[in-house]
Amino acid sequence: MHTHKQPQQNKDQGAIQAQENTAQRPSEVAHKSAQGQQPTLQAKQRPIQRRNHNQSHKAKHQPIQRTAQTNDLKTQMGNQHGVDLSGFKEHSNKKTVAKTKNSQSTKVTQIPTEQQSKKAVEPSYDPSKIGQKGVPKMASSPPSKKIKQVALSKTACMVHGIDADHVKGVIQQGYLSCAYRRLGPGEDYSRPADKTGGGALGVYLRLVGSTHTKWPVKGYGVGANTKSKVQLVFSPEILEKGEWRVSSMDGMGKVPGVQSKDLTTGLRKTKTDWGKTKELWSKQNEASRNQVYNGIVEAQKPIENNEIIFWDTVPIEGFLRAIMCSSKATFNTLAELPEYDRSNNTLAGIPIISSEGDASLLKTLASLA
């Protein structure tokens, strides 16, 4: 999720920087919302486990499915029109069988896992193949700096603004993809910093703390265009998947931890050279990352331009909890997709929620829980 605003900081951001030398706080307890209800999309507090990135991702949940019963179409149509259709064969594609009342066959819509979707839709560009193979690791934390746990109990959700027209591709792929995976090493980037700062190698989301009731349904930044955008709402448990970095401000295409001096060392020798750019993902250390993350979700007011950036892709199977629409136009775009189920207002099993763009995201989600 890219924004074109100039970097911003507020009082909460200043507080985040002041936390660098503070002592570790006591373990957090599960937070309750202002309405006295359980927090929306609340994740259980537990340490984030670093994973072996050479292993393929295994989904924690069973693929989302929906079923509907249909009748024998030949018999139904024959009786309706007085024609004998017993000699005709019905279409054999089970995923596109038409829904009719009292049906005996089953219609199944399934979101592919990240591993399945990558096999089905082989991408043209894979950032893990840039320079040295694999996913870049974090910088080592200073020995004097204690690594705190991420405050999952104070995290309500993460959001990503996206054109409603692009949701179809995300559902079919099974994941959100970074700009490099879509465009490759060419020059088709809106900001030079995406290439020189490494930002094009990640997927941008925004953090919403469990007390941030003023966070609007429409979101902030470029993704807040209610006429064409929808907000994808993710569970905090997505943190356990893959490498991620975080910043309390808009980095304008630079990965968190990158400084100006890092951009003046001849990162790219040619227009298609990304080898050194990938190394910028190894500038932030875990202690600093977790400290910034906790400062964002614990802030009294929402930090609008915060960025949590996931390396390469963000899987949706098991993590995408809702799709927020702030206009009739965006809802209609989703309702026209074959994966839309009008009976329960879901898209491939994901709830679609329509609301005014300026309404509270957390209050809207809590009212539907």
**Neighbour count for residue 78 (Cβ, 10 Å):** 15
Q: Is the dihedral of CA 149, 161, 38, 248 positive or negative?
A: positive
Q: E strands along 25-122, which residues?
A: 69-70, 105-106
Instruction: Tell whether 5 is covered by a domain.
Output: no
Q: What are phi and psi of 119, to 5 degrees?
A: -75, -40
Q: Are residues 77 and 199 in the same domain?
A: no
Q: Are residues 74 and 192 in the same domain?
A: no
Q: Are residues 149 and 83 in the same domain?
A: no
How far is residue 204's CA from residue 24's CA, in Å, rounded to a whole number? 28
Residue ending a domain, choose from 75, 108, 141 = 108
Instruction: Tell whether 61 is covered by a domain.
Output: no
Instruction: Tell whether 2 is covered by a domain.
Output: no
Q: Furthest-apart CA pair in the chain: how many Å?
A: 84
Residue ending a domain, choose from 57, 90, 108 = 108
pLDDT digits (tens, 9 = 90+) for 180-239: 998 888 877 888 888 889 999 999 999 999 999 999 999 998 788 888 999 999 999 999
Place of tokens 């030079």: 192
Residues forming a β-bridge with 106: 69
Instruction: Tell whether 91 is covered by a domain.
Output: yes
Q: How far is CA 202 from CA 35, 210, 271, 308, in A?
A: 35, 25, 19, 9
Q: What is the pLDDT of residue 89?
A: 47
Instruction: Tell whether 343 is covered by a domain.
Output: yes
Instruction: Tell whether 275 is covered by a domain.
Output: yes
Q: Are residues 235 and 136 in the same domain?
A: yes
Instruction: Tell whether 197 is covered by a domain.
Output: yes
What's the token pair of residue 171?
Answer: 């559902």
Q: Are residues 135 and 90 in the same domain?
A: no
What's the token pair of residue 188?
Answer: 């088709």
Q: How far is CA 135 from CA 201, 256, 267, 282, in A?
A: 11, 16, 18, 10
Place of tokens 């069988």: 97
Pick the more confident residue, 34 or 266.
Answer: 266
Q: Are residues 87 and 189 in the same domain?
A: no
Q: Are residues 253 and 281 in the same domain?
A: yes
Pairing relationship of beta strands 175-177 and 313-315 according to DSSP bridges: antiparallel
Q: Are residues 136 and 226 in the same domain?
A: yes
Q: State which residues form the domain around 78.
A: 67-108
Pick the more confident residue, 7 or 297.
Answer: 297
Q: Are residues 158 and 292 in the same domain?
A: yes
Q: Are residues 187 and 73 in the same domain?
A: no
pLDDT digits (tens, 9 = 90+) for 128-149: 988 877 889 999 999 999 999 9
Place of tokens 């309702």: 335
Domain count, the chain: 2
Q: What is the pLDDT of residue 271?
A: 78
Instruction: Tell whether 142 is covered by a domain.
Output: yes
pLDDT digits (tens, 9 = 90+) for 161-175: 999 999 999 999 999
How far is residue 34's CA from residue 362's CA, in Å, rounded to a whole number? 10
Q: Are residues 41 and 78 in the same domain?
A: no
pLDDT band for position 81 (50/70/90)? low
pLDDT digits (tens, 9 = 90+) for 53-67: 444 444 444 444 444
Q: Are residues 129 and 19 in the same domain?
A: yes
